[in-house]
């Protein structure tokens, strides 16, 4: 099975571009490992190789995903995320343990965090909302990426109008977080929730704006009408 991973890595190396690599590094404050390939091209590579393994069972594909995660390369993490999401119709409750391990052990930048959480784990949360308390535990982690994951996992469900109570509960925990990427994460979650629950999110922001970091506040109100934005931004 590892032969396909070797093939993927060889192709990624062959298609790497120093210019793209240097450009990619500018988007991250933290050190990242990146081949230097456009995301759309990484997606094409991942889809092509998925066709070779799509008849494998979920457990076997998840093992391959983990091997990709272990490399530490962002492009490999994107392929792992695409493969795990391709299996979403076959998710079972037991998969939460696997997804949680990936978040805890392998996520090391906001791009990998958001790609995994928005799609794979966000879809899992919609399918099995009984696991939402697990996300709240993530928001208490010492790991910045796990805390961000607790919020960005609910972006897509929030757009669907789901889990508002849980969204506010996670925002409460992260409210005064000092990490700007965590602030942006939960602000983004609130912004997504405002699409279906604008008034409730606006009231939440007003109630907490005295202590909410301005970064999170600006994200949360980004899609609101100008009048509400001005009201929320008043000191």
For the stretch 111-121, pLDDT in tens is 999 999 999 99
129: CATH:
1.25.10.90
Residues 85 and 103 in one domain: no
Q: How remote is the C-alpha of 228 from its chain's centroid?
A: 28
Last residue of a domain, one of 90, 124, 150: 90
Average of pLDDT values for 7-27? 93
- Lookup: tokens for 3: 């032969």
* 22-25 contact pairs (CB < 8 A, 24+): 24/74
Identify the pLDDT of residue 142: 98
Average of pLDDT values for 16-42? 92
What is the CA angle 150-125-1, rounded to 5? 95
Mean pLDDT, the chain, whole residue set: 96
Residues 114 and 198 in one domain: yes
Strand partners, 33: 73
The answer, yes or no, to whether residue 235 has pLDDT greater than 80, is no
What value does the CA radius of gyration of the chain take, rounded to a whole number of Å? 19
- Lookup: tokens for 94: 């037991």
Residues 122 and 216 in one domain: yes
Residues 54 and 135 in one domain: no
| Interatomic CA distance for residues 126 and 123, integer angstroms | 5
What would the 3-class secondary structure string for 121-176 be?
HHHHHHHCHHHHHHHHHHCCCCCHHHHHHHHHCCHHHHHCCCCHHHHHHHHHHHCC
Residues 39 and 111 in one domain: no
Query: Is 37:17 a contact under the CB 8 Å cutoff?
Result: yes
Query: Is 172:204 a contact under the CB 8 Å cutoff?
Result: no
| Position 138 confidence tier, pLDDT thresholds 50, 70, 90 | very high
Residues 163 and 63 in one domain: no
Query: Dihedral (C-alpha) 158, 164, 169, 170: value to the nearest 10 degrees?
Result: 0
Residues 49 and 76 in one domain: yes
| Position 1 confidence tier, pLDDT thresholds 50, 70, 90 | low
Residues 103 and 64 in one domain: no
Query: What percent of the chain has pLDDT above 90?
Result: 94
Residues 51 and 160 in one domain: no
Average of pLDDT values for 192-212? 97
The answer, yes or no, to whether residue 94 has pLDDT greater than 90, is yes
Count of domains forming the chain: 2
Last residue of a domain, one of 46, 64, 90: 90
Domain encompassing residue 44: 1-90
Last residue of a domain, one of 90, 113, 148: 90
| Position 25 confidence tier, pLDDT thresholds 50, 70, 90 | confident
Residues 149 and 86 in one domain: no
């Amino acid at each position: 099975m590892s032969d396909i991973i070797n093939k993927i890595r060889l192709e990624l190396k062959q298609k790497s571009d120093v210019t793209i690599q240097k450009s990619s590094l500018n988007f991250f404050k933290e050190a990242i490992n990146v081949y230097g390939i456009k995301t759309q091209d990484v997606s094409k590579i991942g889809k092509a190789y998925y066709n070779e393994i799509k008849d494998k069972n979920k457990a076997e594909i998840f093992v391959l995903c983990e091997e990709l995660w272990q490399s530490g390369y962002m492009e490999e993490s994107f392929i792992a995320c695409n493969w795990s999401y391709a299996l979403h119709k076959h998710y079972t409750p037991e998969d939460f343990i696997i997804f949680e391990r990936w978040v805890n052990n392998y996520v090391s930048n906001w791009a990998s965090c958001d790609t995994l959480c928005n799609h794979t784990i966000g879809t899992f949360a919609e399918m099995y909302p009984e696991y939402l308390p697990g996300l709240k535990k993530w928001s208490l982690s010492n790991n910045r990426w796990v805390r961000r994951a607790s919020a960005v996992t609910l972006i897509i469900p929030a757009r669907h109008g789901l889990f508002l109570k849980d969204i506010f509960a996670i925002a409460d925990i992260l409210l005064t977080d000092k990490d700007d990427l965590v602030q942006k994460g939960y602000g983004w979650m609130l912004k997504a929730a405002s699409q279906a629950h604008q008034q409730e999110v606006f009231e939440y922001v007003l109630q907490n704006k005295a202590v909410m970091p301005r970064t999170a506040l600006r994200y949360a109100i980004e899609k609101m009408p100008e009048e509400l934005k001005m009201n929320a931004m008043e000191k």
